Structure 1
Amino acid sequence: MEAGSERRLAACHCRAVQFEVQLTDGLRTIRRCSCSYCRMRGAIAVSAPLDGLTFLAGEDKLSLYQFNTKAAKHFFCSICGIYTHHQRRSDPTQFGINVSCLEGVSPFDFPEVIVNDGVNHPSDMPSAPRVAGVLRFSEN
């Protein structure tokens, strides 16, 4: 495992799906995506290797959603509907993990989150991945 990796406990809202995840580089890989699905889902994700996810309960409660190229695999709890993780289209050797599922982490813990251009996905374009913008959170 890479330097900077860390193990975290995670679960969906109803806790039917529980897992432990070995993050690739802690919370430093935070990102959002501007593709049609991610825009509606609104989650912030961090990276984990495919072998970094261990289910503790409820793997059988996961449902799979795929669209368009069907390269990415989006998983969510079939009971509460919370997106837990996805196998990335831009790097199929990694999962994107919903930070809101991580124990003790909130999406509002991050003052800035890079939003990747998923509308013009790097797998469809000859150029390098682009940044669509930055999501900022500030307290009143």
Structure 2
Amino acid sequence: MIKTYQGSCHCGKVRFEADIDLSAGTGKCNCSICTKIRLWGVVLRPDDFRLLAGESDLNDYQFGIHTIHHRFCQHCGVQPFWHGYSEKKGRVFHTANVACLDNIDDAEFANLPVHYVDGRNDNWQAQPAETRHL
């Protein structure tokens, strides 16, 4: 079921809302950046994501082939979302950091379906052999 969630960085300067069906699944990846900062995302169509405040408070980090913009608050350092272009799917996307959703309770967090991907080996269709640390 689609629900509108509000989200923010830690200090609250960056705020967003997104229309999300969390029952459709969330994702965790073992690539270098996702592992180091423990990103937990839910992929959205661009129209389902709205930045409400903080555009001027965001910095941008890119690496590799520079197709994904990892946006983070320049004050508190939290990465509430990222966006980019998927060559494989041929479309623009946004991803909200599930951990930055403000109006979700602990029971809902605990029961979210999670799909794991092996980004470390660029094998995006497969689950890594080990996921407990993600």
TM-score bracket for the superposition, by shorter chain length? 0.7 to 0.9
Equivalent residues, number: 128
CA contact 1:11–1:18 (8 Å) conserved in 2: yes
Bigger helix fraction: 2
CA contact 1:18–1:56 (8 Å) conserved in 2: yes
Identity of aligned residues (%): 27
After TM superposition, the structure 1 = structure 2 runs for residues 66-105 of structure 1, keeping only pairs within 5 Å, are 66-88=62-84, 89=86, 91=89, 92-105=91-104
The residue number in structure 1 matching 2:40 is: 44
**Residue 11 (1) aligns with residue 12 (2):** no
- Structure 2's unaligned 5+ residue stretches are none
Deviation at 1:118, TM superposition (A): 0.4
Deviation at 1:113, TM superposition (A): 3.0
The residue number in structure 2 matching 1:64 is: 60
Tell me the C-alpha RMSD between the 2 structures. 2.6
Amino acid of the residue matched to residue 36 of structure 1? S
The residue number in structure 2 matching 1:119 is: 120
Deviation at 1:8, TM superposition (A): 0.8
Amino acid of the residue matched to residue 95 of structure 1? H
CA distances 1:56-86 after superposition (whole Å, capped 9, x unpaired): 2111111111001111111111110001111
In structure 2, how many angstroms separate the alpha carbons of the residues matched to 1:27 and 1:14?
28
The residue number in structure 2 matching 1:22 is: 19
Over 3 Å counting, the alpha-carbon distance change for 1:15 and 1:34 in structure 2 is same
- Structure 1's unaligned 5+ residue stretches are 123-127
Deviation at 1:28, TM superposition (A): 2.9
In structure 1, how many angstroms separate the alpha carbons of the residues matched to 2:79 and 2:23?
18
The residue number in structure 2 matching 1:125 is: none
CA contact 1:7–1:22 (8 Å) conserved in 2: yes
